[in-house]
Structure 1
Amino acid sequence: MTVPDRLRDADLKPLWSELHRRFSTGAQVSRVTVKGLDGGQRAALADLLGMDRYPPPTVSLPVASLDAVLLELTGCDARTVTEEIRGPIGDRARDRRERERERAALWEWLAGHPVVTAEPALLGWVADVRRQGLVSASVPSTRALLERALKVLAALPADGVPLASFATGVLGDSHALDDGGRLSGLVLRARAVLQGAEPPGDAQERRALWELAGVECDALSTSVLVAGLRPAGPSVLAPVLRMWAGAGQASAVTLQQLRDSHDLRLDVPEVWVTENPTVLALAVRRFGDRCPPLVCSSGWPNSAVIRLLRTLGGSGATLRYHGDFDGEGLRIAAYVMAKTGARPWRMSSGDYLAALDAAPGPHPPPGRVTEAPWDDGLAQALVARDAAVLEEAVAGSLLADMEPTSPRS
C-alpha cells in the first residue's frame, strides 16, 4: 500500500508509536491513549481526525474511529497503516508464551536426561539450576552449558588424572573446568547434591570435591577393599590377589595398581558388592579361603571402586550390589548401578519391608530419601516407615546368597 505523506508527518509519530506498542502486545485493542502531546502534535491529530478543536495533551481514541478515517484515506485499517509506517507488528504475548514453552521444554529435557534419571538425587540439582535461571537469558546457551556439564558428570569418576587432562579428554579444552568457571561450578554443585553436601564455598572445598570424584586424587591412597578375587591374566596384581584369596584374607587394592593392571579378568558368573566393610569382614570370617568374589564400596565409592567394578563387569561377571536401606544408601546404590551396570541385590521394597520386620528395633530414621530407579516403591516405603535398615542387619541373608558361589562349595 502507499501511505500518504501527511500520515508520515513527524507530529503524528506519538500516535503511530502508541498504536504499534499496543498492537504488539497481542491483545485486542479497542482504544489507544496518547500522552504528552505538544501543540503541533495536537494540531496534526485534530487535522487527521477532522476535529473542530484541538484534543487535550492526553487523549483516548477509539480504534474503530481511527479505522474509519484511515479506511477512507488509504483503504486500510489502523493496524495495517501502523505496520506500514512503523514496521512489522510483533506479538509479545505470543512471544512470551513461546519463551515459556522453550523454558519448560529445557527443564523437562534436563529432568529427563539419562544422567539425571539414573541418579534421581540429581533432581535437587535440576531444581537448583532452574532457580538460577537461564544463562544470558538464552535457552540455547543454557542448554549448551548443561550438555557440557552432563557430559562431565557422565565421565566421572576419573582415574586420578589432573583436572586439565580430564577436561581435555572429555571436552577437548584443558581450561574448560578451570576453578571459578560457570561450568566447573555447575558440575561441583551436582556432585555436592549427590553426596548430600553443601555447595563448595572456597577453593579448598572445591578441590576436595574434585578429589572425591577421582580428579587429581592420590592414586596410592585411593583404594578398594576386596576379598575372594582370583583373577586370571599376566599382570602383577593378578597373582597377588589370588594369593590373598587363597589365604582367606581381604586385601586393599590401590587405584595405581588397577591402572597398571590392564588385563584383570575373572572367570566367574557373579561378583558380590557391598556398601559396608563389616559385611565383607563377616564373609571372610565365614568362608575363609572359599570366599566368593566380593568388593566393598566402603560407603560412597571412590574412583578405585568404580574402576575395579567396571573391569570386572567388562570381563563378563554380573555385579550384584547391596547397601544400606536409608536415604544415603539409596543414593550410593543408584550411583554404583549408573556407573558400573551393577544390578540390585536384595534391594527391593519387599526386601526392605521383610528386613524391617525381621530386624529388632529401634531403627534410626532414613534421612533425606530420593527415588530408587530400580524400584518405584522403595523410597515411598522408607518414607512411610521412617526407619532405616543398615546392611549389617541383613548380613545373614547376604552370606546365604553367596554360599552357592563359594569355590568348592
Structure 2
Amino acid sequence: MTRTNWESLPGTNKAMAAARTRIENGDTGDRVRLDLDLTDQDRADLGRRLGMDWELSGKPVTLGRLRAAFAQTGAVLEQVLTTRGGPLQNLPAQRAQQRAARTASVEAAYQILADAGIAEPVVTLARQRRWLGKPDVDDIAGRARDTAALWAALPAGGRRLSELADHLYDDPHALDRDRDLGRITARILAASDAPQADGDTGRANAAANALAAAEWRQTWAAHEVLCDEVSATVLVLGLRLTGQASAAALAATAAHHGEPVWLTARSLRGRWTPADPATTIRVCENPAIVEAAADELGAACPPLVCVYGRPSTAAWTLLHGLADAGVRLLISTDRDIAGLGFAKAMLKIPGALAWLPDAAGLYEETRLHDLLSDLRATK
C-alpha cells in the first residue's frame, strides 16, 4: 500500500488530527500520547504502519510511533500535517499574546480612571473587583471613558440623575440602578466617599452597599445629583420646623393637628431649621411607635422621627440638619442584627445618644410601654 493511501485511511486521519492538536498546544515530545477513540478497524489501519505487534498490544499511539511510521516512507510528520492542514500554530504563544493584550487593555482602562482624578486606592479596588467588566466580553475602555466623563461633571449642582445621564450619554437611563454604568459609577462614588480611616474594607463595604435604594440616593446626593427624591421618605410626629422648604409647612401643620406625616427628600430641599434648636428629638425605627404615640398623645407628643428601617436619604437629610442646628437626638431601633446596624450608623451623628438603652426587649414594640412613658413624661 502506498503512503498516500495509508494517510487517507480513517484511523490514520484520526491520529493525524490528534497529533496536530497536541503539537499546536506545545506537546511535541515523542512520548506524548494521542487522545484517540479507535475502533478495531482504526487500529487495523494504523497497524499497517505501526506494526502488528502494536495493533495487538492495545497500547496508545504516541507522537514518536507516528513520526517513525512516516519516517519509513521518507516523510516528516510535521511537514505532512502542514501540507494537509496548513501551517502548525503555536497556540501557547498565541494565548500568551492574547493574555498580554488583555492585560494591556485592562491597564489602559483603569489608567483612564486614574487620569480622571479618581483616587488610587479606589482604582485599585475597582480593578480587583473588575467593576468595569471582563475585557473579552465588555467594552471596559468605553466604560472607563464614560465613568471619567461623569467624574468630571461632578458635583452636579442639583441636576437630576436622568438629566445628567442624558446630557453626558444621550440616554436618560444610562445611570439607572439596573444599568451597568449606573452600578459602576455608584460603586466608585461610594468608595471614594468612604472615610480614609476605614481603609480598603470600608471602601469595599461602601461600594457594596451603594446599590441598595437608600444608599443609592445618598451616594448621588453627596455629589449634588437628585435621585428619585419623592421615594425617599421619613415619618415625623410633633416636629416643628421653620423656613422656606415645603417640609417646614407640612411638619408644622401636622404637628398642630397631632398627625404623623411623611416628609420626602424633595420637601426637605431648601432652607429649614428646627423651631426650637434646644429641644430633644427622639428617633425610632418602626411606624408602630409613631402611631401609638399619636393615638395617646396627639398634638402634645414631643418631637418624634421614624426612619422606618434603614434610613433613607430623606431621613439622613433631616437627622443631620437637626444635629447641625444643635438638636439633641435620642436613637432607638430594634435590637436584631439589622436594627443594631441602623443604630450604629445613626449614633455616629455628632451628639446622638441611645434612647432608653436599658429598657428590655429585642424589638421596639416590646419596649412600647417604656418608650411611651418617656414621651409622656417629656410632653
TM-score normalised by length of structure 2:
0.49
Of structures 1 and 2, the larger Rg is shown by 2
**Which gives a bigger RCO, structure 1 or 2 (Cα 8 Å, sep 6+)?**
1
TM-score normalised by length of structure 1:
0.45
